[in-house]
Structure 1
């Protein structure tokens, strides 16, 4: 169930998404309220789980992680125990940026961020192929990021 957000809640979220380090006093000035009700609204959005945390956004490019590959993985076993074993193991691979269970012609779609093709090849051979119940894979190398949103539209 989606929480009911009024226009001020949406403005607060927009401002926090743009700069999560914005002082409450400045945030309050921008949304036209005093500090106390703004802080209460933020606390309420945190309590209901709408705001799940605050973090620094780090550029993978500046870290030299310029190689992005999407990997389709097919499992040999898709019973619950096998899925749980796979899920636990894939979470332990630091180069896995995203992993989704898919309804379709394969079981998981994994986004890998690596330094280069040689680094990806190592990750594929030593990490992904060794995951529990992996039967086969197909890799798709990204040539360019055309749209990359890390922010959801607030409507």
Structure 2
């Protein structure tokens, strides 16, 4: 799909405010409300806009400790990776899981917990019990400098 300047403006705007009304969006990008709505629908149907979500403040919810965790696997097989991915997906404290390359680790996890004790329970009670996990390296976030940044639209 080729994006024109209106599509790009729409994408920028809805990343900044997913609750923007169609009328306000149309006014912002310089389209009629019906034309704007049609374009948003096309962007959604094409999969460029995949969902709308609220961004929550984890600290206000008592989840003040973020861990970045590198996971190494014992075998590099599709079956082993598929099993790990299914198991890690059911741990709600894991808010991101990335398959990576270029390091000794195979996966990078972002985990949100209340405190070190909570992290300890997740690590020893769930993550290290997943068959195939052979190494874990944890780092703890001191400050979130850039977070939830919109995707650049060129």
TM-score (norm 2): 0.94
Q: Deviations over 1:84-134 (max 9, x none)?
A: 100100000000011111113111111111111111111111111112211
CA contact (8 A) 1:65 1:113 kept: yes
Corresponding residue to 1:25 among 23, 26, 29: 23
Cα displacement (A) at 1:69: 0.8
Equivalenced residues, count:
153
Superposed CA RMSD: 1.2
Q: Deviations over 1:10-64 (max 9, x none)?
A: 1111221121111111211111111111011001111111000111111111101
In the alignment, structure 1 segments of 5+ residues that lack a partner are none
Instruction: Give the corresponding residue for 1:116.
Output: 115
Instruction: Give the corresponding residue for 2:82.
Output: 84
Q: How does 1:135-154 map to 2 (within 5 A)?
A: 135-154=134-153
Question: 2: CA distance between counterparts of 1:22 and 1:130?
Answer: 44
Question: 2: CA distance between counterparts of 1:102 and 1:12?
Answer: 32
TM-score (norm 1): 0.93
